Structure 1
Amino acid sequence: MHHIDDSLGFILNHAGRRLTLLLALRYQPYDITTEQWSVLNRLYEQDGISQKELSRRAEKDQTNITRILDQLERKGLAERKANEADRRSFLAFITPKGRELNETLLPIENEVIRLVQDGMTEEEVALLRRLLKKLTHAAEEAIQEMGEQS
């Protein structure tokens, strides 16, 4: 008999939700959600990108990116400016306040990851990383094949 607790999809989803919750609890004092931080961190990595590119990098749809950028702008962490090359789009930028907050949050994220990796060897962590990337790649290929069929 197959138990859902043994399903790889369930295990991955559960682990992801637990990590997100742990990070959310650590970020609560800074009044930022993990979803907002993922977008802020992408802007920290590369500033002045289009919302479309930000959407791709943050793996969020355009509607969610717009909503998250609205929230980040209200908090003074990001801003949008007209794209001189394409008047129909905007470029997103991190503000100095957003950069400072991200530099505060990065070590917290690193600490959460260290905490959950406690008890794992470097080899196990490296293997887990490789296997998760392999699984993600296989899922992406399957999604593309389905897109080509429809």
Structure 2
Amino acid sequence: MTYSAIFSHASRLREAGNRFILAELEKAGLGGIAPSHGDVLVQLLACESCNMSDLARRVHRTKSTVTTLVEKLERNGYAQRMPDPADSRGVLVRLTDKGKALEPTFTAISEGLHRLITDRLSAEEAALLDRLLEKCVNG
């Protein structure tokens, strides 16, 4: 038995999610934000400031990838970087007031993404899918 469709299905689900996110961002008039910024923004909405290394670990991305994402958010006025007073080589990142104002939109987008799943699966099926995908990704 082959499971070749698993990656295709996962890819199509991700594409559907990204289309939804982009449409909602456009409706909200938010430029300069891409689906790839979502995990970073969600983490920053949850904390006052975050060390770049910790942020990379939390969003399961390399530090260089997170640096690139944060640079774009900074250019668009959503985030700012500053020296980490606890680590002379470290950098902290936090949201600006403009970035903090994204919270209601991101909450609505998260709820919409949730509905993409719950409109098709029962709560038990969604929980099982979540556990199985996590197992596939994390081992």
% identity of equivalent residues: 27
Question: After TM superposition, where is structure 1 displaced by more than 6 Å over at least 4 residues in a row?
Answer: none
Query: Higher mean Cα deviation, 113-122 or 88-97?
Result: 113-122
Distance 2:138 2:63 in 1: 23
**1:15 corresponding residue in structure 2:** 13
- Structure 1 position 107 matched with structure 2 position 105: no
Aligned to 1:76: 77
User: Aligned with 2:69: secondary structure?
Assistant: helix
SS at match of 1:27: helix
Alignment equivalent of 2:25, drawn from 24, 27, 46: 27
* Contact preservation (8 Å) 1:27, 1:34: no
Structure that is richer in helix per residue: 1
Q: CA deviation at 1:133?
A: 2.2
Distance across 2 between alignment mates of 1:137 and 1:90: 28
**Counterpart check, 1:88 vs 2:74:** no
SS at match of 1:87: strand
Q: Which stretches in structure 1 are left out of the alignment for 5+ residues?
A: 139-150
Residues 20-39 of structure 1: CA deviation (Å, up to 9, x unaligned): 22212222331121112321
SS at match of 1:30: coil
Relative contact order, higher structure (CA 8 A, sep 6+): 2
- Which structure has greater strand proportion? 2
| Aligned residues between the structures | 136
Instruction: Check whether the contact 1:55–1:65 (CA below 8 A) recurs between aligned residues.
Output: yes
Cα distance per residue 1:40-72 (max 9 Å; x no partner) = 111111231111111111222222211111111
What corresponds to 2:52 in structure 1? 51
Deviations 1:80-139 (A, max 9, x none): 11111211111111122211112222112212321342132122112212222222231x
TM-score normalised to the size of structure 1?
0.78
* Kept in 1: contact 2:78–2:98 (CA 8 A): yes
User: Which protein has the larger Cα radius of gyration, Structure 1 or Structure 2?
Assistant: 1
Change (3 A) 1:68 1:82: same
CA RMSD of aligned residues (A): 2.1
Q: Following the alignment from structure 1 to structure 2, what is the Cα–Cα distance between the partners of residues 24 and 110?
A: 14
* CA distance 1:44–1:84, change in 2 (3 Å): same
| Structure 1 stretch displaced more, 20-29 or 89-98 | 20-29
Instruction: Please say which of residues 120-129 and 49-58 is displaced more in the overlay.
Output: 120-129
